[in-house]
Amino acid sequence: MAEKLKVTLREKEFREVIGKPVVRVDAWDKVMGKAEYIDDCPIPGCWYGGTVRSDVPHGRIVGIRQDPSFDWSKVVFVTAKDLPGPNEVAMVRRDMPVLAEDIVNYVSEPIALVAAPTKALLRAALKAVKVEIEPIEPVLTIEEALSGEKIIWGEDNVLAKFEVKRGEVDEAFKEADIIIEETYRTGHQEQLYLEPQGMVALPRDDGGVEVIGSLQCPYYIHGAMTHALNLPPDKIVIKQAVTGGGFGGKEDFPSLLAIHAAVLALKAKRPVKIIYDRAEDMVSTTKRHPSRIRHRTGVKKDGTIVAQDVDLVLDGGAYTTLSIVVLQRSLLHATGCYNIPSARILARAVATNTPPNGAFRGFGAPQSIFAMERQMDKIARTLGLSPVEVRRKNLLKNGDAFPFGQRVEDDGARLVFERALAISEYERKRSEYSKDQGPKKRGIGLSLFLHGGGFTGAGEQKINGKIKLFVAKESVELHVSNVEMGQGAATVLTQIAAQGLQIPFEKVKYCQPDTSKAPDSGPTVASRTTMIVGKIVLRGTEKLILQLKEYVSRHFDVSLGDITYAKGTFFENGTPLADFFEIARRIEEERGPLEVIGDYVHPPELNWDDKKCQGDAYQGYAWGASVLEVEVDTDTWEVRPLRDTVVVDVGTAINPLLALGQVEGGSLQGLGYGYLEVIEMEGGRYRNNRLASYSIPTSVDCPDFFVELMEIPCSRGAFGAKGLGEMPLSGGGPAVASAIEHATGLFPTRLPVTGEILTSLEQEGDERRS
Ligand code: MTE
Ligand code: MOS
């Protein structure tokens, strides 16, 4: 018999953490002001970097003149000619240059870079550069891009195109009693993370470079930097600094910024940091894609949909960035939560001479869902039915299929819908608010929405995410490339690892992402972290426990099958043998550091055909319903959201408190998209580049939220979790439009529903409700 090992019976220390409102692991540092955002990080000898930009939307660069009266020996100056590698930012495509060389394609496009030892000198140097540009006629709208009169991208200005078809659509339209057509439009939306974009690059002695910054996707930047700097992967390290929000805005753009900072740092031979102020951030970084979506729906008199045609166009801006994947998500969410027996969806993203649009919470879905939900209200209005009736008739049920073929696996859509109607007292309030009111009219509206969790189609297989668990003394480090940006990933992943290992929550340490330590577990996008990466973490924990078990088996000469593990202790037929950290320590002594890699396994039952856009697009669907009450002042057209009842099925809520926060925050961001947030464009230029002129909802505009979490577990997510971070945003826009319709009788077809829109609808003679 082997010597006895320590058994401290950690059972008492262990507590269940799944489904518990554990306090955020980042709370203390943030509340105490100790968290270091990139601009707070002390970096000795660091210079400041800045950008010379285009002031026209389209043109040919004929000269870059450096004022000879400025002392250029004191600063570092970089144009496209000085780049160490290909002038390409490698993302999904490589069509975006690091610096414009010959042609500029949008206002604010980077043309040259400067680094200087002080901010004052940087400002002076930027002023001493004059770029001469010969203007070319720009393409500024979706319509101009589609017309093909001026070609600015490829052969036809189309950045991406997909089509989905189900059934014999033309035949099915013949079965309809009535065909309802409408065109819906949505505008830009600015992510408006609290902390603007910022990045520091530090040259290394071996010719490599390290980048630290505010970012969502360490390995996207890593890939883009290896390409643009022409360096081997091991010469580049990306670290995330504490990040003050991303909302998708720090998914693609940081690749460009990191390359800019690195190019300057390599030339200056010292660290360089580029921190945007709010104005520069707002005019030059990506926004949500504006859309134009045409619906043509064949319906029976009772409201049953028999066929649907959707023509969906997104404005991608000057370069591809993430438009291909944003468009795909738009396409796959185009028919919302409804069962459409015959459907044809054409989706295109087009190029315009405006700043490239990119990822923003929801990623194409908020545009699609707005159009679909409005169309449901239009059907109700046209047929004289209630919005509830029309939705009930067509809701996706367990077993129904989406137009791309995937079958729905639960009744989430119906359950959240009925629950939201019941607890909001929708019917009673609807009839009450329909009675005559004064100039301030109340209205109640609703929306139904969904979110496919994780990457689309084969995306997760391609990424093939990995995580690392490293056993340190008396704690386990979790290394992933998924970042904390406010959404709670650090806490939730810690909960998952602790529960998987059955050790106390405090014994797991989530490590700030660093590509020199963490394997590529994929980007922090598509609400995939909890659901998909959480599952990979769990696989890692199983692997680690198995390794320890094998050691216990050999050490005690007990067959593997007789060993059980629970709450930090290994047992043989109920008798405790040894505890987790004791075994780990022994293995480390014998063989060196103990670490395991958890890897991704694709659910074998899911199949996706990328070319045909058919099959199982997502690993699971989260569902939501919002019932929103608003007050509209018909003298001023001021809209006030009063009360928002939101019921969401998020699968297992790993941390219900954080989940509630995501639902409230996302819903409010969706309401802002719905009635407040206007980006004004003039000649391809964003006019409102400050918070004074770009209004978002503040605490004063926040309605009373009544959020209920419904938990229908999804077997493919960690502990049954579904992707929840983005979904709530999709509900706000259509709910606010629907509530305004009820209050005013006007039928808004575009977002945001501003006073100007309401005035023009009124002037068009849309019927006012008496
Ligand atoms: N919540 C906060 N507080 N801050 C953010 O930047 N980003 C959103 C959402 N919620 C965001 C947020 C976006 S765009 C995504 S994709 C998801 O969180 C990502 O989180 P997950 O992958 O951890 O679900
Ligand atoms: Mo979120 S838009 O997928 O970063």
* Residue recorded with tokens 């490293």: 470
Whether residue 25 is found in the same domain as residue 67: no
Residue nearest to atom 16 of ligand 1 (CA): 525
CATH number at residue 488: 3.30.365.10
Q: What is the mean pLDDT of residues 209-227?
A: 98
CB atoms within 10 A of CB 550: 14
Whether residue 229 is found in the same domain as residue 214: yes
Whether residue 715 is found in the same domain as residue 568: no
Q: Which range marks the domain in which residue 265 is found?
A: 44-129+199-276
Domain count, the chain: 3
Whether residue 508 lies inside any domain: the answer is yes
Query: Is pLDDT of 89 > 60?
Result: yes
Instruction: Extract the tokens encoding 13.
Output: 């220390």
Indicate the pLDDT class of residue 766, thresholds 50, 70 and 90: low
Q: What is the mean pLDDT of residues 687-697?
A: 93
Q: What does the H/E/C string look like for 447-460?
A: EEEEEECCCCCCHH
- How far apart CA 742 and CA 730 sit, in angstroms, is 20
Q: What is the mean pLDDT of residues 338-354?
A: 98
Residue 251 CB less than 6 A away from ligand 2: yes
Cis peptide before 752 (omega within 30 of 0): yes
Residue 528 CB less than 6 A away from ligand 1: yes
Whether residue 28 is found in the same domain as residue 52: no
Q: What is the mean pLDDT of residues 727-738?
A: 98
- How far apart CA 530 and CA 654 sit, in angstroms, is 8
List, in sequence order, every residue forming a beta bridge with 231; answer none if it has no partner: none
Whether residue 310 lies inside any domain: the answer is no
- How far apart CA 209 and CA 370 sit, in angstroms, is 44
Q: What is the pLDDT of residue 14?
A: 84
What is the Å distance from ligand 2's center to 603 Cα?
A: 23
Which of 257, 276, 295 corresponds to the end of one domain? Answer: 276
Best mutation site among 193, 247, 525, 727 for ligand 1, i.e. most ligand atoms within 8 A of its Cβ?
A: 247
CATH number at residue 69: 3.90.1170.50
Q: What is the pLDDT of residue 3?
A: 61
What is the Å distance from ligand 2's center to 270 Cα?
A: 33
What is the Å distance from ligand 1's center to 99 Cα?
A: 30
Whether residue 653 is found in the same domain as residue 532: no
What is the Å distance from ligand 2's center to 527 Cα?
A: 7
Query: Is pLDDT of 770 > 90?
Result: no
List, in sequence order, every residue forming a beta bridge with 631; answer none if it has no partner: 442, 640
Q: What is the pLDDT of residue 456?
A: 93
CB atoms within 10 A of CB 566: 12
Query: Cα–chain-centroid distance for residue 529?
Result: 11
Whether residue 539 is found in the same domain as residue 626: no
Whether residue 344 lies inside any domain: the answer is no
Q: What is the pLDDT of residue 7?
A: 65
Whether residue 31 is found in the same domain as residue 50: no
Whether residue 625 is found in the same domain as residue 714: yes
Q: Which atom number of ligand 1 is nearest to the Cα of residue 486?
A: 3
Is the entire prediction scored with pTM above 0.85? yes
Condensed to tens digits (0 to 9), the pLDDT of residues 176-212 reads 999 999 999 999 999 999 999 999 999 999 999 999 9
Which of 599, 628, 657 corresponds to the end of one domain? Answer: 599
Query: Is pLDDT of 761 > 90?
Result: yes
- How far apart CA 271 and CA 196 sit, in angstroms, is 20
Which of 210, 244, 276 corresponds to the end of one domain? Answer: 276
Q: Which atom number of ligand 2 is nearest to the Cα of residue 360?
A: 2
Indicate the pLDDT class of residue 436, thresholds 50, 70 and 90: confident
- How far apart CA 669 and CA 677 sit, in angstroms, is 9
Whether residue 669 is found in the same domain as residue 594: no
Residue 361 CB less than 6 A away from ligand 2: yes
Whether residue 330 lies inside any domain: the answer is no
Q: Which of 42-56, 255-269, 494-508, 681-695 has the lowest mean pLDDT?
A: 681-695
Whether residue 124 is found in the same domain as residue 257: yes
- How far apart CA 686 and CA 355 sit, in angstroms, is 9
- How far apart CA 70 and CA 67 sit, in angstroms, is 6
CB atoms within 10 A of CB 431: 10
Residue 363 CB less than 6 A away from ligand 2: yes
Whether residue 154 lies inside any domain: the answer is no
Residue 138 CB less than 6 A away from ligand 2: no
CA angle 576–578–582, rounded 5-degree value: 160
Whether residue 20 lies inside any domain: the answer is yes
Whether residue 521 lies inside any domain: the answer is yes
Whether residue 633 is found in the same domain as residue 733: yes
Q: Coil, helix or strand for 458?
A: coil
621-633 vs 466-472, strand pairing mode: unpaired
What is the Å distance from ligand 1's center to 529 Cα?
A: 9
Query: Is pLDDT of 768 > 50?
Result: no
Residue 499 CB less than 6 A away from ligand 1: no
Whether residue 191 lies inside any domain: the answer is no
Instruction: Extract the tokens encoding 335.
Output: 């028919």
Question: In terms of Cα–Cα distance, which of 199, 205, 260, 202 is closest to 229?
Answer: 260
Q: What is the pLDDT of residue 5?
A: 65
Q: What is the DSSP string of 37-99?
A: BGGGS--TT-EEEEEEE-SSSSEEEEEEEE-TTS-GGGSEEEEGGG-SS-S---SSSS-S-SS
Q: What is the pLDDT of residue 437?
A: 85
Indicate the pLDDT class of residue 9, thresholds 50, 70 and 90: low
φ, ψ (nearest 5 deg) of residue 587? -60, -40
Q: What is the pLDDT of residue 10?
A: 61
Q: Coil, helix or strand for 167?
A: coil
Condensed to tens digits (0 to 9), the pLDDT of residues 70-84 reads 999 999 999 999 999
Q: Which atom number of ligand 2 is nearest to the Cα of residue 527?
A: 3
pLDDT mean across residues, the chain: 96
What is the Å distance from ligand 1's center to 727 Cα?
A: 10
- How far apart CA 252 and CA 238 sit, in angstroms, is 14
**The amino acid at 74:** K
47-53 vs 110-116, strand pairing mode: antiparallel
Indicate the pLDDT class of residue 765, thresholds 50, 70 and 90: confident
Q: What is the mean pLDDT of residues 30-59?
A: 97
- Residues with Cβ within 8 Å of residue 753, at least 6 apart in sequence: 639, 674, 675, 736, 737, 740
Q: What is the pLDDT of residue 1?
A: 47
**The amino acid at 507:** K
Residue 662 CB less than 6 A away from ligand 1: yes
Residue 728 CB less than 6 A away from ligand 1: no
Q: Which atom number of ligand 1 is nearest to the Cα of residue 524?
A: 22
Condensed to tens digits (0 to 9), the pLDDT of residues 279-331 reads 999 999 999 999 999 999 999 999 999 999 999 999 999 999 999 999 999 99
Whether residue 532 is found in the same domain as residue 668: no
